[in-house]
Amino acid sequence: MLRAAYPHRLFRDLAAAHGPLMHLQLGELHFLIVSSAEFAKEAMRTHDTNFANRPLMLASEELAYNSTGITFSPYGDYWRQLRKICTVELLGGRRVRSFRRIREEESMNTCRWIASRRGSAIDLSERLYLSSFDVVVRAAVKANAKERKIMVSTFMESVKLASGFLMADLYPSVKLLPLITGARFKIRRIRREVDEVLDGIIEQHRAAGDDGDDAKFEGFLDILLKFEKDGTLTTDNVKAVLVDIFIAGTDTSAATIEWAMSELIRNPSKLIKAQQEVRKVFDNEGSYIDEDKFHDLKYLKLIIKETLRLHPPAPLLIPKFNSQRCEINGYEILGRDPEYWNDAEMFIPERFEESSNDFNGSYLEYIPFGARRRICPSMLLGLANVELSLAMLLHHFDFEMPIINSNPSPSSK
């Protein structure tokens, strides 16, 4: 059975039947899927530079201002410059720490929202998405609640479009396909909406200006505008990086928190163990969860690792394409391969207790953030969001699955 919703699981099953290197043709495009760490080493270490490019896609062309954000810009000097701005200026440790108050306020808002629905079943998915979005947006720009609301719906639509190949992408030689399918029209409409919101916000930031107060909170846009001012970036480049950050930074954190909570609720003994740890560490803090004590949350860290093994938010990473001919093309590693993991399908955070496997891309059987040149530049911020939200949820609430009556009585039909 084809499980389109979980392509990584489908590839795992196909790899079991056809081997770790498979050729897949979708429309006019050729993909090679690598499902073993051995083949991945070839692609990600030996031919790393060759695979540091991204394919041209309609959504990235339009929404990422002609593919000039970090995620979709071609590998080369411009990308290297953006990557440096990102890792040094935007997403380094000091900057991530400076967003602490935002993370705390948003997690607290989520807790208040849950508390106000005490005793009833709740749908955490949307709430977690909104909260992750607000953390990233508030770290990036000064936007009021109305602007944030417009951005959420626009970016949710963008994520849907940007997270897969459109029919028009699969048949690049049919130049009219984006028009015939209506894809270009739809993407351009979203792009106009994104543009309008970002232009307004950029204008406000410019008008507020730099008052020389070094202690003032600096968001991503304030920093990017300095690079615009010195001529390193154009206004469109600035907007492309913002779009990138909104899209790459929201769904990933929200999905990780949601999966971690789902696994814990499905595994009550692990939920209790995690809760006991969080409550012991923050026993005397009242309702305050102090990030400075996160090094004591050893079990919670294992839970996050295990969640990212079983449910990486970008299981196929972001597509790459090889710029030159070489022996191995395209790759995908599966964190559920029984060759590398005992009881690969089970949620067992303890498996990481004795293991040195970390997120940094050194262990190719486990790369939830990717590896090498295109590795996620925002591991720190992503993990900080996930850790704080989980600690707050576990500290303040008890969770259990709602009881669903699967055997309705004849009268309720």
Site residues for ligand HEM per CB under 6 A: 70-71, 83, 136, 244-245, 248-249, 252-253, 256, 313-314, 317-318, 368-370, 374-378, 381-382, 386
**Residue 315 DSSP code:** T
Q: Which residue is nearest to ligand HEM (CB)?
A: 370
Q: Pick between residue 273 and residue 372 the one whose CB is nearest to ligand HEM.
A: 372
Q: Which among 62, 50, 23, 69 is positioned nearest to 320, based on CA atoms?
A: 50
> Shortest gap between Cβ of 153 and ligand HEM (angstroms)?
20
State in angstroms the smallest separation of the CB of 344 from ligand HEM: 19
CB nearer ligand HEM, residue 277 or residue 387: 387
Nearer to ligand HEM, 20 or 219 (CB): 219
Q: How far apart are CA 249 and CA 376, in angstroms?
A: 10
By beta-carbon proximity to ligand HEM, the closer residue of 83 and 301 is 83
Sign of CA dihedral 352, 356, 360, 361: negative
| Closest alpha carbon to 97 in 277, 213, 217 | 217
Give the three-state DSSP class for 321: strand
Closest CA to 331 of 56, 43, 71: 43
Of 345, 383, 327, 337, which Cα lies nearest the Cα of 364?
337
The response to whether 326 counts as a known ligand-binding position is no
Q: First-to-last CA distance in the chain?
A: 30
**Nearest distance from residue 253's CB to ligand HEM, in Å?**
5
Residues in a beta bridge with 24: 31
CA angle 166, 127, 162 (to 5 degrees): 15
As measured in angstroms, the least distance from the Cβ of 217 to ligand HEM is 17
Give the CA distances from residue 76 to residues 79, 196, 309, in Å, rounded to whole numbers and listed in that order: 5, 30, 31
Which residue in this structure is represented by tokens 């955070």? 349
Q: How far is the CB of 34 from ligand HEM (least distance, A)?
A: 13
| Phi, psi of 29, deg, nearest 5 | -95, 145
Q: How many Å apart are CA 223 and CA 220, to the nearest integer?
A: 5
**Tokens at 300, concatenated:** 């919670």
Closest CB to ligand HEM among 177 and 248? 248
Q: How far is the CB of 371 from ligand HEM (least distance, A)?
A: 6
Render 135-148 in DSSP notation, one character per residue.
HHHHHH----HHHH
Nearer to ligand HEM, 72 or 178 (CB): 72
- The span from the CA of 71 to the CA of 86, in Å, is 11
In sequence order, the 6+-apart residues with CB closer than 8 A to the CB of 352 are: 302, 305, 306
Q: Which is nearer to ligand HEM, 184 or 331 (CB)?
A: 331
Nearest distance from C-beta of residue 169 to ligand HEM, angstroms? 17
Q: Which CB atom, from 177 or from 237, has the smaller least distance to ligand HEM?
A: 237
* 3-class state of residue 25 by DSSP: strand
Q: How far is the CB of 71 from ligand HEM (least distance, A)?
A: 4
* Cβ atoms of residues 278 and 300 within 8 Å: yes
Point out the annotated binding site for heme.
376
